[in-house]
Amino acid sequence: MSGQAPLAGITVVAMEQAVSAPMCTRVLADFGARVIKVENPKGGDFARDYDDVVNGPGGLAAHFVWCNRGKESVTLNTKSPEGIELLHRLLDRADAFVSNLAPGATARLGLAPADLAERHPNVLPVEIDGYGPGGPISHKRAYDLLVQAEAGSCAVTGYPGMPAKPGPPVADFTTGLYAAMSIVALLLGRARGNAPDGPAPSVELSLFDVMTDVMGYQLTYTQHSGIDQQPLGVSSPAVAPYGAYKTRDGQTVVLGTTNDREWQRVAREIINRPDLADDPRFATNPDRCAHREILDEAIGSWCAQHDLVDIQRIADEAGIGNSRYNVPSEVVAHPHLTARDRWRTVATPKGDIQALRPPPVISGFEQPMGPIPALGEHTDKVLAELGLAADDIARLRADGVIGPEVS
């Protein structure tokens, strides 16, 4: 790593699980923040047990490895008085507290934003939940799929009559990014003297609110047209022609246009159909969307007569966007990732792995991408920083306040 980490000196305490909050704190850790992940001694973050494919069998879970590098794991039984008091001592030294527990869980532990405002007024409380307070479904548990269904994203994914969940956990991931951005914005405001008087402001984020924001195009279209757009598989209801087409050599190419000029080039320079270019039915994008089946048949017929490499060469020469349809195993081996040095080695309790660098490329600084922590790996070190002696830590372990020692 070169250069000073932008968030060096910032400490974040997290009570988190699954993806949304862990993604928030992973982003902060990638920028140099110290993230202390407080976990239940009995199993910790349940994402640790989703599977065991990383350096398995008997290895680590893919979700956990993805979301938890660069953190310190401390086991605390927060249902015990000593455990919750130790958590407060950690918060005494923290800049932010991130949680995505079940509805009402932080309040029951005395860790709601109002509680922190009294005892830890300098800590930024960031609470992630499913649906946000004050609504008729605020009480419900919320996982990525459930929220995506509620927010409508499953209805615009898949095919007509065959809805589908978008593959990546979009609600969880995007909420984590919004949470990290909120923390950085508030810390910047504090550093510049723009913080409000009194306790640190709190941040509430719900997966539902984030997904309805992500659904902005579809909701705006429906709001003003009264039409629920139907999903089109590997295509878009917004523009045409735009979709996936089989090639002569058994692969799939994705071709897309974004304006009338590009459509003219597709028709005249790629598929050699000036008759379609001159046809008034296809003059504008709304016209083309209304007759997309005709265009898809014409482009599909042309692609079926050509190999992928030739299609992409011709499309590139014509200035038309195109890509190869890849499955995950092909993306892992993608030459573009290798050529641009996008892989880094990350340590885990089960051995080193290769992980993709964070997307931002920053001159003079490379994200540290620290190790994946074992459950409770840093408990003794962190408690020693609080002034606890070895005998005190041993007693806490014997009383079940902290988890087993990690060798």
Q: Which residues contact 71 (CB under 8 A, 6 or more apart)?
A: 14, 25, 26, 29, 35, 36, 37, 370, 373
Q: Distance from first CA to last CA of the chain, Å, rounded?
A: 27
Q: Which CATH superfamily is domain 11-216+339-399 in?
A: Crotonobetainyl-coa:carnitine coa-transferase; domain 1 (3.40.50.10540)
Among 3.40.640.10, 3.40.30.160, 3.30.1540.10, 3.30.300.30, name the CATH number for the domain at 242-324: 3.30.1540.10
Query: Tokens 């499309």 belong to which residue?
Result: 315
Residue extents of the structural domains in the chain: 11-216+339-399, 242-324
Q: 292, 294, 275: which is closest to 235 by C-alpha?
A: 292
Burial 54-93 (b: 16+ CB within 10 A, else e): beeeebbbebbbbbbbbbbbbbbbbeeebbbebbebbbee
83 residue type, one letter: G
Asked if 99 contacts 16 with a C-beta cutoff of 8 angstroms, the reply is: yes
Angle at 175 between CA 55 and CA 378, to 5 degrees: 45
The per-residue DSSP string of 326-359 comes to --HHHHHT-HHHHHTT-EEEE--TT--EEEEPPS
Going residue by residue through the chain (407 aa), what tens digit of pLDDT does each one get?
A: 456 899 999 999 999 999 999 999 999 999 999 999 999 999 999 999 999 999 988 999 999 999 999 999 999 999 999 999 999 999 999 999 999 999 899 999 999 999 999 999 999 999 999 999 999 999 998 999 999 999 999 999 999 999 999 999 999 999 999 999 999 999 999 999 988 888 999 999 999 999 999 999 999 999 999 999 999 999 999 999 999 999 999 999 999 999 999 999 999 999 999 999 999 999 999 999 999 999 999 999 999 999 999 999 999 999 999 999 999 999 999 999 999 999 999 999 999 999 999 999 999 999 999 999 999 999 999 999 999 999 999 999 999 999 999 97
**Bridging pattern class, strands 321-324 and 162-163:** unpaired
Asked if 151 contacts 170 with a C-beta cutoff of 8 angstroms, the reply is: no
Local structure of residue 168 (DSSP, 8 states): S
